[in-house]
Structure 1
Amino acid sequence: MNRADPAVMPDSGIQTLDRSMLLVELVTRAGHQGMTAAQLEAASGFSIATVYRLAQALKRLGLLRQIRDRGPYLLGHQLIVWGSAAGQTQCIKRAARGPLRSLADQFDNSFFLFVPDGFNVLCLDIQDGSQPTRSYVSDLGDRIRHGLGQASIAILSHLSRTEYDQILARNAATLQRSYGIERFDIDQAVAMCRRLGVTGGVEGTEPPEFTGIASPIMDPSGAPVAALSCSVPRKQMNETYYHALCDQLRQHAQVITQRLYGAIEER
């Protein structure tokens, strides 16, 4: 079994927590078969003693379980309780599935649903048209740092000032170093998204082969709960296509908002 790539997991900065979460992630990927301690050792790169220590702690918390002694570790029932509490996210996914499919059929490109996830945005759903495209994410569950990509700008544009400043204070150095994205550029893109209801994100020093547009989905208080976005080859994004995408993304974001919350009065 190949070792897990730690880059796909968010980094909390607390080693024990990060290692524990990696074990839970590995068991999740293994499905109903679960993983033995030896398999977790091989996949994580941790010592067998570390695997046992963390796995036993996760069992006590209800996050992992074993049907028999020395059997494979499976996901614990506490996660079901937490999953129910996180039900709003599943509601968002259900409400967005039809609009995403409609957009993919209309434009033939790939359309994405992102939700805020701490200092990142997380890809919750993807619907592909006849010409699938990928840029910063390749699969469900992938994360992008806030400030990178169109969806993160759409969500940032409606966060409180405190949240906005905290997120960018954390991400600014990496965005500048890895992508050439400055705080000023993000501020400008956010201001434009607030005016237009859509955003093309921020161009860095290494723009990908693809570009896109995103539109925020907000709750009745005006807080962002998600964003619709698309990935389009740059050569396809002419002015006519751009305006059609903007109009349809705004309309479909409104449809999702109405499905989630009903009609919302103009704020």
Structure 2
Amino acid sequence: MGTDEQRRVVDPKNHIASVVKAIEVLECFKNGGPELSLTQVIDQTGYTRTTVYRLLGTLELAGWVERTDRGAYRLTLQVFELATTVLAGFDLRTVASHVMSELATAFDEHVYLLVPDGTRAVCIDLIESSQPIRVMVLTVGRSLPMYLGGAPVALLAAMEKTLLPRLLKEGPMVTPAGNEIPEAELRQTLAETRDRGYAISSGDVTPGVVALGACIKDRRGQPVAAMSIGGLSADISDQRLDTIASALMDGADAVSRRLGYVGD
């Protein structure tokens, strides 16, 4: 958004331009944060102050956004209700739920289900650990770039030819701590991930937290999701890591078979 190349091409005979603009305003919240000021929306969309003000006013009237005490804008629960409806009918989430429950019961660690969304991976389901110390980074609806975390890296390893060039065009790959990941280092990580069958993320998203990720494939053998197990590094010895990794890969294979995948 914000440039002619990024915006959708609108044919006035078949589309309503104002609706497209309103959707672009809503999409600003995907990466901009839970609250945005008028100026931030203007900067992201490239539209005039008057246009953005009118669009936000219309969305507020329709119940999709609301004003905060600070005068910023945020999405309402109406958006969550719509997303919940979509997720309720998402077969992958339903198919994976039993395996996720088994993994959560066996290891009492956080279990995540993520799907690719461009060059990011979005969490569509999770089961929390019962442990008192919370290590969660992802919640349902939140995302990570494909080069960070267990599940995203597992997906990127399986889709490197198509996704890595797109990631590289987007600019430097940087961790939350501000450390840039060199391309050569990432390529080596992806090759190792494919060789072992699962990804290992150790402290790259959150210090002291390790996560494993394994891909789920559809009946055509295409990666459509990844499951991840994450917990405190201090609680996951090398031996326990191997046990978790084996169970995670078995679980991902089980979900893949339920989706119709029969193996290579």
Give TM-score, length-normalised by structure 1: 0.68
Q: CA RMSD in A?
A: 3.7
1:219-259 C-alpha deviation (Å, 9 max, x unpaired): 23332111111111111121210111011001110111122
Q: How much has 1:203 moved relative to structure 2? A: 5.7
Output the amino acid matched with 2:263. Answer: E
Task: Select the structure that is richer in helix.
Answer: 1
Q: How much has 1:174 moved relative to structure 2? A: 3.5
In 2, Cα distance between equivalents of 1:195 and 1:89: 34
Q: Flag the 1:186–1:135 CA change in 2: closer, same or farther, 3 A.
A: farther
**Which runs of 5 or more structure 2 residues have no equivalent in the other structure?**
8-20, 40-48, 64-75
In 1, Cα distance between equivalents of 2:78 and 2:176: 38
In 1, Cα distance between equivalents of 2:84 and 2:206: 37
Q: How much has 1:75 moved relative to structure 2? A: 6.0
Q: Flag the 1:20–1:188 CA change in 2: closer, same or farther, 3 A.
A: same
Q: How much has 1:163 moved relative to structure 2? A: 2.5
Q: Flag the 1:154–1:89 CA change in 2: closer, same or farther, 3 A.
A: farther
Matches within 5 A, 1:20-169: 20-22=26-28, 44-46=36-38, 49=50, 50-54=52-56, 56=58, 65=62, 90-131=90-131, 133-137=134-138, 139-159=139-159, 161-169=161-169
Contact 2:200–2:213 at 8 Å: present in 1 too? yes
Matches within 5 A, 1:206-225: 208-225=207-224
Q: Flag the 1:140–1:171 CA change in 2: closer, same or farther, 3 A.
A: farther
Q: Flag the 1:169–1:21 CA change in 2: closer, same or farther, 3 A.
A: closer
Give TM-score, length-normalised by structure 2: 0.69
Q: How much has 1:53 moved relative to structure 2? A: 3.2
In 1, Cα distance between equivalents of 2:239 and 2:170: 37
Q: How much has 1:96 moved relative to structure 2? A: 1.2
1:31-64 C-alpha deviation (Å, 9 max, x unpaired): xxxxxxxxxxxx64328953423565x79xxxx9
Output the amino acid matched with 2:217. Answer: M
2:257 equivalent in structure 1: 258
Output the amino acid matched with 1:46. Answer: L
Q: Flag the 1:235–1:213 CA change in 2: closer, same or farther, 3 A.
A: same
1:37 equivalent in structure 2: none
Q: How much has 1:89 moved relative to structure 2? A: 7.8
Contact 1:176–1:182 at 8 Å: present in 2 too? no
Q: How much has 1:24 moved relative to structure 2? A: 10
1:3 equivalent in structure 2: none
Q: Flag the 1:188–1:247 CA change in 2: closer, same or farther, 3 A.
A: same
Give the match's secondary structure for 2:214: strand
In 2, Cα distance between equivalents of 1:235 and 1:160: 31
1:248 equivalent in structure 2: 247
Output the amino acid matched with 1:150. Answer: G
**Which runs of 5 or more structure 1 residues have no equivalent in the other structure?**
1-11, 30-42, 67-72
Q: How many residues align?
A: 221
Q: Flag the 1:100–1:150 CA change in 2: closer, same or farther, 3 A.
A: same
Output the amino acid matched with 1:19. Answer: V
